Structure 1
Amino acid sequence: MPPRVNPTLRQCRFGTELRRMRERAGFGGSELGRLVGMNPAQVTQMESGRIGISADRLRTIAAACNCANRPMVDALADIIAERGRGWWEEYREVLTTDFLEVAEVEHHAKTLTTCTTTYIPGLLQTGSYASAVFARVYPPLPRKDIDVRTAFRVQRQQVVRTGKIPLRAFIHEAALRMQFGGPRVLADQLDALIGDSADKGISIRVVPFDVDTFPGAGENVTLAQGPVPELDTVQMDTSSGTLFFDAPADLAKHRSIFDRVDSAALSEDESRDFIRSIKKEVEAKYA
């Protein structure tokens, strides 16, 4: 089978974990290849996600690298066993790779934890709010592009709306007050958040302005937890696009950040009341 031209984020991550396994064993690519019956080029392609391997070869590599982390190896074997295309592939010709990779990460997560400072988390946005967020992009997008991005964002929400994946959302007060599309859109969005907060699979916690020192990152960040901690992924939204981090040091840093945010945020009940109070302010001021 020829090498993949455009491996997915998940395929690349699989290869990255094999490279880390090899490096922890102190092997170069050629040395590992000799041990498991692969040539150096195949090892390079495997570690870049351009070729797949069988579960048997995975376990041979793990044994050669003296990897005793069985849960991790089993999780990698599960990736090999995956078949079929994700729903997001239907959008490959119309959206940039960033959009598809976010959906892919969310779909395979065991839990999702997000912290936002500038807007409501995408997984909790109403259609009108999401459309307004995309409408403020500069240079302006054509209406059809805004509609496609909005439809994609709403479809992404199924991972939490169906209860498949638990979501913890830490939302800074700034994001609750930032307007996209005007006061009516914001009020409707806040009302939707209040409803979502009653969902047993969705936890919404507010970080108010009066917290002494905001403990989170300045960017909007999501931690997607995998089947084992080694397969966690950090997603960061920036003005230039979406960034993904999976190095152990990055994962440890952001786990600590989320722990700090958790200690500073209001409780779920307090957060629900807080959102209600902001909604009343918006409705009173702009009625």
Structure 2
Amino acid sequence: MPPRLSPTVRQQRLGIELRKMREHADMTAKAMAAALGTDVAKISQMENGKAGISTDRLNSWAVSSKCGNTSLIEALTLMTHDRGKRWWHSFRGRVPSGMLDIAELEYHAESLLVLNTVSIPGLLQTSQYSAAMFSRLRPPLPRHDTEVRTAFRIQRQQVLTGGTSPFTAFIHEAALRMQFGGPAVLRDQLASLLHDASRPGITIRAIPFSLDTYPGSGEDLFFAQGPVPELDTVQIDLTQGPQFIHAEAELDSYRAIIAESEAIALSPDDSIDFIHRIATDLEG
């Protein structure tokens, strides 16, 4: 099978964990190739996510690396089984690949958490709000591209159906007041937000301006919990597209930001009252 030309972030992540495992054992790629009965080029392809790895070969890799982390090995084994196409594959070539990677990350996460400072989280946006967000991009997107990206964002929200993956949103007051598309769009968005707060598995907590502190640097933060802590992932939005973070030191830093947010944010009930007051201000 030829190497993948464009491996997904999830496929790359599997390869990264394989490389970490090998390097932790102080094994060279040549030594791993010899242990698995393959060549160095194949080892490189697997570690770059450009080639898949079978369950048997993964187990041999773990044994050769003297890895005793059975929970991690089991989680990686499940990743090797995931080769079917999901709904987002129908959007390939129609939206940026980073958007597909986000949908894949959400689908496989054990739980999801966001910290937004400027806009309402994508998984909670109305179609009108989402379209307004995409319409503000510069240079402007063609109308068709805006429509497709909006449809994709709305379809992503199916991951919240049924509450199987708990979702927590910390939303700063700035994001609750920032208008994209005008006051009518924001009023509808806040009403939708209040409805979402009553759905199973969804927790919304507001962070008001009145607090004398704010954790982090103000960037929007998306935290996807993996089946084991080693497979947690943080995604942040940059001008050039989404950035995915999985280095342990950086993950610890973002975990600290999340812990601070949990400590200072309003309770879910107080957050609902707070959002109600903002919505009332818009009506005045």
- Which TM-score band (shorter chain)? over 0.9
The question of whether the paired residues in 1 share the 8 Å contact of 2:162 and 2:200 is answered with: no
Paired with 1:116 and 1:147, the residues of 2 have a C-alpha distance of 23
The question of whether the paired residues in 2 share the 8 Å contact of 1:116 and 1:219 is answered with: yes
Q: Which residue of 2 aligns with 1:239?
A: 239
Q: Which residue of 1 aligns with 2:114?
A: 114
| Residues 144-182 of structure 1: CA deviation (Å, up to 9, x unaligned) | 111111100000000013323110000000000000000
Shift of 1:254: 0.7
Alignment partner of 2:123: what SS? helix
Q: Which residue of 2 aligns with 1:28?
A: 28
Shift of 1:249: 1.0
User: Within the alignment, does 1:11 sit opposite 2:25 as a pair?
Assistant: no
Paired with 1:124 and 1:162, the residues of 2 have a C-alpha distance of 15
Q: Which residue of 1 aligns with 2:228?
A: 228
Alignment partner of 1:162: what SS? helix
Per mean C-alpha deviation after superposition, the further-off stretch among 231-240 and 165-174 is 231-240
Alignment partner of 2:163: what SS? coil
Shift of 1:141: 1.2
Q: Which residue of 2 aligns with 1:153?
A: 153
User: Within the alignment, does 1:279 sit opposite 2:276 as a pair?
Assistant: no
Q: Match of 1:9, as an amino acid?
A: V
Q: Which structure 2 residue ranges, 5 or more long, are not aligned? A: none
Shift of 1:106: 0.5
Shift of 1:4: 1.2
Paired with 2:235 and 2:200, the residues of 1 have a C-alpha distance of 24
Paired with 1:169 and 1:199, the residues of 2 have a C-alpha distance of 13
| Residues 221-277 of structure 1: CA deviation (Å, up to 9, x unaligned) | 100011111111100012221100011111111111100111010000000000000
Q: Match of 2:226, as an amino acid?
A: G
Paired with 1:195 and 1:52, the residues of 2 have a C-alpha distance of 42
The question of whether the paired residues in 1 share the 8 Å contact of 2:110 and 2:224 is answered with: yes
Shift of 1:199: 1.3
Paired with 2:230 and 2:98, the residues of 1 have a C-alpha distance of 22
Q: Which residue of 2 aligns with 1:211?
A: 211
User: Within the alignment, does 1:186 sit opposite 2:186 as a pair?
Assistant: yes
Q: Which residue of 1 aligns with 2:139?
A: 139
Per mean C-alpha deviation after superposition, the further-off stretch among 31-40 and 262-271 is 31-40
Paired with 1:238 and 1:277, the residues of 2 have a C-alpha distance of 31
| Residues 60-115 of structure 1: CA deviation (Å, up to 9, x unaligned) | 11011110000100011111112311211111111111111111111111100000
1:161-176 alignment, distance < 5 Å = 161-176=161-176
Paired with 1:218 and 1:86, the residues of 2 have a C-alpha distance of 33
% identical equivalent positions? 50
Q: Which residue of 1 aligns with 2:101?
A: 101
Shift of 1:200: 2.2
Root-mean-square deviation (CA, aligned residues, Å) is: 0.9
Paired with 1:238 and 1:11, the residues of 2 have a C-alpha distance of 22
Paired with 2:126 and 2:87, the residues of 1 have a C-alpha distance of 20
Corresponding pairs, count: 284
Shift of 1:38: 2.0
The question of whether the paired residues in 2 share the 8 Å contact of 1:109 and 1:165 is answered with: yes
